[in-house]
Homo-oligomer: A and B are copies of this chain.
Amino acid sequence: MNTRKKTEDLCRPLEIEDFTPQSAVFASPPKWHIAHTTWFFEEMILKKYVSNYKPFDDSFGYLFNSYYNSLGDRIERGHRGLITRPNIETVFEYRAYVDKAMTALLNMSESEAIKKLTILGVHHEQQHQELLLTDLKYTFSKNPINPKYVETNLVEDTYIHSGWVDVNEGIYEIGHATDNFAFDNELGRHRVFSEPFQISKSLVTNGDYIDFINDGGYENSKYWLDDGWHWLLENKIKHPLYWKQKNDQWHHYTLSGIASIKEEAILAHISFYEATAFANWSKCRLPTEFEWEIASSQLDWGRRWEWTNSAYLPYPNFKIAEGAVGEYNGKFMINQMVLRGASVATAKQHSRNTYRNFFTPNTQWQFSGIRLAK
């Protein structure tokens, strides 16, 4: 399967040593991503639908569970980097073993449920492909010798500002409508009324953001949400993640090492707090997720996850799935803000205008950016 192969391709530039360590509670090791996406197929499908299925290794059900309480205990999230054994070779054997069993099952069975879960597993793996990249970047950035992962650094796409889209008031339909795959949080298509608004066609660039910095953006509490201001003070935040000033010139760590910052490239690695402060400074605001979806066909999107000013909450008619997969999305619907779009690190098939990504407002390590509205 393409998605399975893609994960392995992403691992090709890695040294064996790169697979295990974990640099933050939120940033899992490559080995864990590889194993956990495999675990999903074994735990959610093979163990349930293949009679007499023999698991590859009984301890893996525990080792590679992420947060499914209903599937039993799991290793503490911050301890994932201590799993030096099984070694990476064994984990790739685990992948092969599960892939083979899945292929056999899919060839044999006509079950809709299995098909659905398989597709969910593929999309789940695509999510982890993106996390594998963002987590790896975070880990590498902590190494003082700034390792290079690949040649293209993913964040140098140049860019032209292209004005505003005007949207009229009206009742709009929101949420996933087609028969294609979507996560549960996108379903529950429903109507919203929107007041008229304007939304920028393009994203904020590094140059725009440097203006904000130079204008004292990080020193003036009036631009910031109160929580954001405390976050900034406590963590001594003075610029986007990975930025560093050397001889009056901004540089940043990228997946191909340290590079100087191109002003015309799109800003990345920004928290919601920073996005809001920038918007206030610009005398604009962030769009809501509904405004974003309504206007999406007229926007240039897909290179950064775009913070919206919508909290991550259930749509009317949101239904929690039965069983373990029901733990997928609903239980995170608090204290998180919605990001729309997709990023340069997102799997191609994983991008649609109803997709609801979500993170806590202090999150910087994603390829996240800013689109303004007013």
Q: Which residues of A contact B (CB under 8 A)?
A: 15-23, 31, 59, 62-63, 67, 69-70, 75, 79, 81-88, 139-140, 142-145, 147, 169, 171, 190-193, 195, 197, 221-222, 224-229, 272-273, 276, 285, 309-311, 313-314, 316-317, 331-335, 337, 361
Contact = CB atoms under 8 A, between A and B. Distances in A.
B310 A313 contact: yes
14 contacts: A16-B17, A62-B144, A63-B144, A70-B222, A83-B143, A86-B145, A169-B191, A193-B193, A195-B316, A229-B331, A285-B314, A309-B313, A311-B311, A335-B361
B17 A332 contact: no
A109 B198 CA distance: 42
A221 B67 CA distance: 11
A145 B59 contact: yes
Contact of A147 (B70, B85, B272, B334): B85
Contacts of A229: 69, 331
A20 B17 contact: yes
Contacts of A276: 334
A21 B143 contact: no
Contacts of A332: 225-227
A273 B333 CA distance: 11
B21 A227 contact: no
A145 B86 CA distance: 9
Given A17-B16, A88-B17, A195 B309 contact: no
Given A17-B88, A222-B70, A82 B143 contact: yes
Contacts of A147: 84-85
A300 to B, nearest CB: 24
A20 B23 contact: no
With most chain B CB atoms within 10 A of its CB, the pick from A31, A222, A276, A331 is A331
B309 A85 contact: no
Of A84, A139, A192, A276, most buried by chain B (CB within 10 Å of CB) is A84
A81 B332 CA distance: 30
Nearest to A228: B334
A81 B83 contact: no
Given A16-B87, A191-B195, A333 B225 contact: yes
Contact of A85 (B145, B225, B314, B334): B145
A63 B145 contact: yes
A84 B85 CA distance: 16
A267 to B, nearest CB: 20
B192 A193 contact: yes
Contacts of A18: 84-85
A331 B85 contact: no
A284 B87 CA distance: 47
A28 B353 CA distance: 46
Top 8 nearest A-B pairs by Cβ distance? Answer: A311-B311, A193-B193, A17-B84, A69-B221, A16-B16, A18-B84, A226-B331, A85-B147
A226 to B, nearest CB: 4
Nearest to A226: B331
A225 B192 contact: no
Nearest to A272: B334
Given A226-B334, A335-B335, 7 more contacts: A16-B16, A70-B222, A82-B143, A84-B139, A225-B331, A309-B314, A311-B313
A87 B334 contact: no
Contacts of A309: 313-314
B193 A84 contact: no
